[in-house]
């Protein structure tokens, strides 16, 4: 069973469409939302709207953090669109669970006899708050897959830091130091998963999940006429959960800068024994085959 923490956000929405689309045999136990790409209210509405679009109102959603452990989220409306998405979905009629994300995560982790994987696609505030609230949490999460970090490569918010880690560096540091077996899908491999306008257009020939993913991407290209590729960050993390073999990784421990203001959110790997497997290379063909298949679209070389 998989629990997904997310800040939809265009690439989060596409990752959710992969998980809940026709081609993914994934048991999604629920979503928790977090501010980041958008304000918590927008991210939560977008998560509910995507679920309703897919007629998956059975998937519970719990609201999480509206701000990081310290400070506030910078948001990325310029990139993700005025309400956090580049398409306008109908206002959802489904609603969130009572209680917040930490309660939801704790209850689900403790009630499940089966192994639980946690996929984190936004700032790690909810996961860090879970670890602070429940000392047993690390033993209840069998595997953590995180989209975040820029290990040995330039960031996308500052020269040193990736958006999720820069948005809440304290949370990222605490989560990566928790000892949970973690796959860290960072910007190095996301940059190997860029899709073109043609690749996005191809999605329109697929089923509902593929068509919405295509609409989100073409909406982004319309807002960014000078760009010729969109980096599929969260979809790569989703694909790494579905098929770990798409990544080569390097094991060690990862520290996150929380003091030096110029390097805030920077992620540094110390190779060796440690709980974190950092992505080093992506099998692009295997990723895109999985991407189109899970969305229910004809295969295409993007
Ligand atoms: O840096 C990319 C990550 O930050 C993605 O998860 C994107 O959705 C934003 O949350
Ligand atoms: Ca995200």
33 alpha carbon – ligand 2 mean position (Å): 10
Provide the residue ranges of all domains of the chain, joining segments of one domain with +: 2-295
Out of 75-84, 111-120, 251-260, pick the least confident.
Answer: 111-120
Question: With bands split at pLDDT 50, 70 and 90, how would you rate the model's confidence at 132?
Answer: very high
Cα of 279 vs its chain's centroid, Å? 15
Both structure tokens of 10: 């265009």
- 78 pLDDT above the threshold of 90: yes
State in words which class domain 2-295 has.
alpha beta
Q: What is residue 263's DSSP assignment?
A: G
**pLDDT of 22:** 78
Question: With bands split at pLDDT 50, 70 and 90, how would you rate the model's confidence at 168?
Answer: very high
**pLDDT of 25:** 74
| Cα angle value 14/91/73 (rounded, 5°) | 60
CA–CA separation, 300 vs 236, rounded Å? 16
Q: Give mean pLDDT, residues 147-154.
A: 98
**pLDDT of 302:** 64
Please write the tens of the pLDDT for every residue from 260-288: 999 999 999 999 999 999 999 999 999 99
Asked if 255 and 267 touch (Cβ cutoff 8 Å), the reply is yes
The dihedral through the CA atoms of 228, 231, 232, 234 has a sign that is negative
Whether the predicted model's global pTM rises above the 0.95 cut: yes
CA distances from residue 274 to 116, 152, 183 in whole angstroms, order as listed: 20, 18, 11
**pLDDT of 296:** 94
- 10 Å CB burial of residue 268 (0-12, 13-18, 19+) is middle
8 alpha carbon – ligand 2 mean position (Å): 6
Atom of ligand 1 nearest to the CA of 7: 10
**pLDDT of 291:** 96
- 298 pLDDT above the threshold of 90: no
98 alpha carbon – ligand 1 mean position (Å): 27
Please write the tens of the pLDDT for every residue from 19-53: 998 777 799 999 999 999 999 999 999 999 999 99
Atom of ligand 1 nearest to the CA of 122: 10
Write out residues with Cβ below 6 Å of ligand 1: 7, 9, 11-12, 36-37, 121-122, 147, 156, 162-164, 233-234
Q: Give mean pLDDT, residues 63-82.
A: 97
Mean pLDDT of the chain: 96
Asked if 166 and 264 touch (Cβ cutoff 8 Å), the reply is yes
Determine if residue 55 is left, alpha or beta; phi over 0 gives left, psi from -120 to 50 gives alpha, anything else beta.
left
Phi, psi of 132 (to 5 degrees): -70, -35
Q: Where are the beta strands (DSSP E) in the chain?
A: 2-6, 28-33, 61-63, 117-120, 143-147, 182-185, 194-195, 230-231, 247-256, 267-271, 276-282
């Amino acid at each position: 069973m998989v629990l997904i923490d997310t800040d939809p956000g265009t690439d989060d929405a596409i990752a959710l469409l992969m998980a809940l689309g026709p081609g993914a045999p994934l048991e999604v136990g629920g979503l928790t939302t977090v501010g980041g790409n958008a304000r918590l209210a927008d991210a939560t509405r977008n998560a509910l709207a995507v679920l309703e679009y897919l007629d998956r109102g059975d998937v519970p959603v719990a609201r999480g953090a509206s701000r990081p452990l310290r400070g506030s989220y910078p948001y990325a409306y310029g990139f993700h669109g005025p309400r956090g998405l580049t398409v306008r979905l109908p206002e959802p009629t489904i609603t969130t669970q009572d209680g917040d994300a930490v309660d939801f995560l704790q209850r689900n982790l403790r009630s499940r006899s089966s192994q639980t994987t946690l996929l984190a696609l936004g700032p790690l505030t909810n996961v860090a708050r879970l670890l602070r609230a429940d000392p047993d949490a690390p033993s209840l999460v069998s595997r953590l897959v995180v989209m975040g970090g820029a290990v040995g490569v330039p960031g996308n918010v500052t020269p040193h830091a990736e958006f999720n880690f820069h948005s809440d560096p304290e949370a990222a540091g605490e989560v990566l130091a928790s000892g949970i077996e973690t796959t860290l899908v960072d910007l190095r491999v996301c940059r190997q998963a860029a899709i073109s306008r043609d690749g996005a257009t191809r999605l329109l020939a697929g089923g509902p999940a593929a068509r919405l993913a295509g609409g989100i991407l073409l909406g982004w290209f319309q807002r960014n006429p000078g760009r010729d590729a969109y980096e599929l960050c969260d979809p790569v993390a989703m694909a790494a959960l579905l098929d770990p073999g798409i990544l080569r990784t390097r094991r060690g421990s990862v520290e996150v800068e929380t003091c030096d203001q110029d390097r805030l959110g920077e992620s540094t790997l110390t190779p060796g024994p440690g709980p974190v497997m950092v992505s080093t290379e992506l099998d692009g063909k295997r990723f895109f085959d999985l991407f189109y298949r899970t969305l229910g679209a004809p295969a295409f070389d993007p």
